[in-house]
Each structure stands twice: as C-alpha cells, then as structure tokens.
Structure 1
Amino acid sequence: MQIKLSNNFEKNLYIIYEFISKDKLSAAQNFKKELLKTIKALSDFPLKYRKSYYFDDENIRDLIFKGYTIVYEVDFDKKEIFVFHIFNKNLPINIKKENENDSY
C-alpha cells in the first residue's frame, strides 16, 4: 500500500520536531526517524492499530507513538494509507480530514 502524508500532518510533525530539538537535537531526529519508520510499516499491516476514537469508521485508525496520536485512513480500493493528523494525546483537538499531499 502507498502511504500519503497530509500537509497538516507534516506541519504538525515539524512543530513537534522543533519543540523536541530545543532540548536535544538527536532526540528530535530519532523521534522523526522512528515515527516515519513506524508509519512506513503500516503498508504491511494497515489495520494493526485501534479503530479511531475520533471517527466512526473502521478504516480510520489511531497509531499511538511516544505519547502522540497519529490518525490515518486506510483505503483498500485505492491501496492507500492517508496519514492526516498527529497530536499529543493529552490535548483536546478538532480533527478534520483534508486533501492528500505527498506520497511517502
């Protein structure tokens, strides 16, 4: 399956990266590297993580990674996984799906 990342996901990942790097650059680099590796692994088992708490749709899932929730949608017809949000699981949010951005 092809993985696509939304603009919103990339923007929020950058903000998180910058926040972590203020304390320790290597930790930020490792966080981003491991997160993208985990997301890439979704291709092999896209329904591995729980059904989303935020959407009433079996194909929208929540991946929990080091205290952050990554929300993604699996489209079996298109053979795509669309990652559209990342946020700290302790913060209230208003999640909306958006248009696709780039493939990963």
Structure 2
Amino acid sequence: MELRISEKAKRQLRNIYTYYSENSIQYAEHFLEDFYNKIESLIEFPKMYGIIPQLEKHNIRKLLFKDYRILYQIDKNNELIKIVAILYSKQRLQI
C-alpha cells in the first residue's frame, strides 16, 4: 500500500512546523518525526481509524495525533492512502 500527502495537507504541515519552530526548532523536528511515524502506521492498519460520519460520502477517516486531526482516504482498491488534511482539533471540520 502506498501513502501520499495531498498538496493541501503538505501546506498545513509546513504551517504547523513553522508555528512550532518559532519557539523551538527541536520541538518542531520532533513533531515532524512523530507525525511521519504515525501516518506510516496506516500502511499496516489503514482501517484502524473510523470514518467521520459528516464526511462518510467521501470515505474520510480521522486519525487523532497530538492536538490535530489527520484526515485521510483509502482508495477503492486498497492500494493508496491519501492524507487530505491536517486540522487543529478545535478547528471546524471541513476539507
């Protein structure tokens, strides 16, 4: 199974990194390392996290990570996991 990050999610991740690096580069680097470790776990267990009821028609699942929600989709053939958004947990849910 392949894992991809959408351009939108990449922008969001860069913004998160920039925000954390303003206070601590070390924390920002640690955050990125933890983030990539967490999403790589999806390769073995892609259906571990549930589908979001409000986004069920898009088959979007939610992985909670620190103060963020990582939204992702699994393609119909179960060959690709796509990270579609990374949202602050208190942010309104939209993609």
> Scaled by the length of structure 1, what TM-score is found?
0.83
Residue 47 of structure 1 pairs with residue 47 of structure 2: yes
Q: Distance in 2 between matches of 1:13 and 1:53?
A: 24
- Which structure is higher in RCO with an 8 Å CA cutoff and minimum separation 6? 1
Task: Give the CA deviation at 1:33.
Answer: 0.8
Q: Distance in 1 between matches of 2:19 and 2:6?
A: 20
Which has the larger helix fraction? 2
Residue 86 of structure 1 pairs with residue 64 of structure 2: no
Q: Distance in 1 between matches of 2:25 and 2:13?
A: 14
Aligned counterparts, 1:14-33, within 5 A: 14-33=14-33
Q: How many residues align?
A: 95
Task: Give the CA deviation at 1:59.
Answer: 3.9
Q: Distance in 2 between matches of 1:60 and 1:90?
A: 18
What percent of counterpart residues are identical?
Answer: 27
Q: Distance in 1 between matches of 2:58 and 2:87?
A: 20
Q: Distance in 2 between matches of 1:63 and 1:32?
A: 15
- 5+ residue gaps, structure 2: none
Task: Give the CA deviation at 1:49.
Answer: 1.2
Q: Distance in 2 between matches of 1:72 and 1:34?
A: 17
Contact 1:52 1:58 in 2 (8 A): no
Aligned in 2, Cα 1:37/1:51: closer, same or farther, shift over 3 Å?
same
Task: Give the CA deviation at 1:89.
Answer: 1.1
- Deviation beyond 3 Å, 4+ runs, structure 1: none
Q: Secondary structure, in 3 states, of the residue corresponding to 1:42?
A: helix
> Scaled by the length of structure 2, what TM-score is found?
0.90
Q: Mean Cα displacement is larger for which, 59-68 or 9-18?
A: 59-68
Letter in 1 for 2:41: A
- 5+ residue gaps, structure 1: 96-104
| CA-atom RMSD in angstroms | 1.6
